[in-house]
Chain A
Amino acid sequence: MYAIKTDSLTKYYGKSRGITNISLTVSEGDFFGFIGPNGAGKSTTIRTLLGLITPTSGSAELLGMDIMKQRNEILQKTGYMPSEASFYRGMKVREVIRYSAALRGLDCRKEAARLLDRLELNPDKKIRELSLGNRKKVSIICALQHHPRLLILDEPTSGLDPLMQREFFAILKEHNADGAAIFLSSHILSEIQRYCRHAAVIREGNILICDEVKNLGHTRAKQITLLGVSAPPAIDGIKNIESVEDGVKFLYSGDYHALLSALSSMPVTDMNMTEPDLEEIFMHYYRSGDM
């Protein structure tokens, strides 16, 4: 059974595109990254999975249950952290957290107290007095206090300071180690690279690639930096040319003999050839859609 399984999931808002034919699987217990620029369809995918919006076509299952028919059962076992944490402004932190537990018909006071302590959040503060970061902490507690089997997090770290981000991921890793699947939408690549085992890249409503994070960095293309020249050799397979101090940087996916032969006649003073980092690949996907 998969934590998340979508089959050609499509959502149109009238005539404008939300997501088109999203098919992906997230295994139980996985730590899955969902990468894409603003407007790519990350939040639309998540909101469709959670039943906030109805898909135009296609289907999806969360924890083996149909998102259209078994919404309540799914939400009972799912924790969700939205990208913008908004709560009832007149309520106190403690009241919002208890209300969330009560809506689930649960008493989560013990776990809530533990999380409040770890996230250093004052439960007696009014929501309207909280900074974005502190509202995010309330959201984290509401998403985690009932020990969900699936956690869906939409750009969760915006507003959290670096120390709190580390604590947040430590908590996530503990839940993941306990068997919870984590679906993390983000455009912060270092987060995905550091914490996720699998990831999918979404662009203009389509999934471009879905693979293990370590494989996403392995492509045929190499990043080459040449010093002493201002332009790359005039051969096929060169992309993303950038000027650097006293040299040029580019991605190369052509024949190495052709490259070496071309370089032998150029005044190159130094050369560096590496795997492109995830950010490089990510930017490339954003621009062209293939690698």
Chain B
Amino acid sequence: MTILKQELRQGRNALILWTAVIVFMLLICILIYPEMGSQMNELSGAFANMGGFSAAFGMDKINFGEFMGFFSVECGNILGLGGAFFAALLGISALAKEEKEHTAEFLLTHPLSRKNIVLQKGLSVLVQILILNAAAVSACAFCAFLIGEKPDIGSLTLLFLAYLTMQIETAAVCFGISAWISSGGLGIGLGGAALFYFLNLISNLAEGAKFLKFLTPFGYTDGAEILISGHLEAKYVTVGILFTAAGIAAAFWKYCRKDISV
């Protein structure tokens, strides 16, 4: 597990920074909720009638004035979008950075199979995503306690599980792409995560665009749907798991055959 440790050491500062920013924004969001709560009750109706805008964010289906409704939209966007960007960056750079930074020649002339390298790098991505989410969950639980809210644990668990699954899928797809490229992955990663996010917004706007939910991992993170149905949409999650598996398989397949540029 030498590479795993090295990857975690190398990524430590970025992990701390992303975690701090996401946790800080979640804290702010939750801590201002009591003050906003009463206003939200009044605004909730207005939000629900803002047509396409509220539909895009799922605000037409939930009560924005209740903690869970507020949390699923506001905090969902922070942890969803922020987490997706972080996961995409981790995934896209995991394998490609060795060639980009000209360290591939050093790493790959040591007695480790490429399969082993992909495995350890993949695990390091997963571990970092888990750390970020664990920090986010802890911060949210702590803040909810501070403001005296007792959110529905079942719904909250489902929401966090959806964000985590989405981040893992995003990272896995980018990880697969990472095996193909040797530089310039940053734009692909961030652009891909943003594309996934907007595909979901579009799919919320029109019934005819619903199929887009199959293409984006944000399809099963829609907080309103989760709160109303009490479960994750199995058909979207299944496709997401398939995308995840395909990304990981592509990374192994390509990296084990690839001519390394130095």
**A contact residues vs B (CB 8 Å cutoff):** 13, 47, 50-54, 71-76, 78, 80, 82, 84, 86-90, 99-100, 102-105, 142
Cβ contact within 8 Å between B101 and A86: yes
Q: List the 9 shortest-distance A-B pairs measured between CB atoms, nearest first.
A: A86-B102, A103-B110, A75-B111, A76-B111, A53-B259, A80-B109, A72-B111, A52-B260, A102-B2
9 chain-A/chain-B pairs, Cβ below 8 angstroms:
A47-B260, A51-B108, A52-B105, A71-B111, A72-B113, A88-B6, A103-B3, A103-B112, A142-B106
A50 touches B109 (CB 8 A): yes
**Chain B residues whose C-beta falls within 8 Å of the C-beta of A89 in the assembled complex:** 101
Which residues of A lie under 8 Å from residue B103 when comparing CB positions? 86-88
Decide: A103 near B111, CB < 8 A? Known: A47-B262, A53-B260, A54-B257. yes
Chain B residues contacting A103 (CB-CB under 8 Å) are: 2-3, 107, 110-112
Closest to B1 in A: A102
A84 to B106 alpha-carbon distance, docked (Å): 10
B10 touches A88 (CB 8 A): yes
In the complex, chain B residues 88-146 whose Cβ is within 8 Å of any chain A Cβ? 101-113
Give every chain A residue within 8 A of B10 (Cβ-Cβ). Answer: 88, 90
Which residues of chain A are within 8 angstroms of B260 by Cβ–Cβ distance? Answer: 47, 52-53
Q: Decide if B102 touches A84 in the complex (CB within 8 Å).
A: yes
Is A82 within 8 A of B105, CB to CB? yes
Write the nearest CB–CB distance from B85 to chain A, whole angstroms: 22
A99 neighbours in B (Cβ, 8 Å): 2, 6
Give chain B interface residues in 1-22, CB to chain A under 8 Å.
2-3, 6, 10
Min CB distance B82 to A, Å, is 24
Chain A proximity mask over B37-79: 1 for CB below 8 Å, otherwise 0: 0000000000000000000000000000000000000000000
- Name which residue of chain B comes closest to A139, CB basis: B106
CB distance from A140 to the nearest CB of B (A): 13
Closest residue of A by beta carbon distance from B116: A72
> Measured between C-beta atoms, what is the minimum distance from A112 to chain B in Å?
15
Task: Give every chain A residue within 8 A of B108 (Cβ-Cβ).
Answer: 50-52
Chain A: which residue is nearest B105 at the CB level? Answer: A82
CA distance A53 to B112 in the complex (A): 15
B215-262 interface with A by 8 A CB criterion:
257, 259-260, 262
In the complex, the chain A residue whose C-beta lies closest to that of B109 is A80
> Once the chains are docked, how many angstroms separate the CA of A78 from the CA of B111?
9
> Are B106 and A86 in touch, CB under 8 angstroms?
yes
**Of A74, A82, A88, the contact of B262 (CB 8 Å cutoff):** A82
In the complex, are the beta carbons of A104 and B259 less than 8 A apart?
no
CA gap between A54 and B2 in the complex, in Å: 26
Assembled-state Cα–Cα distance A100/B260 (Å): 19
Indicate if the CB atoms of B262 and A84 lie closer than 8 Å.
yes
Complexed CA–CA distance, A74 and B101 (Å): 25
Q: For A54, what are the chain B residues with a Cβ–Cβ distance below 8 Å?
A: 257, 259
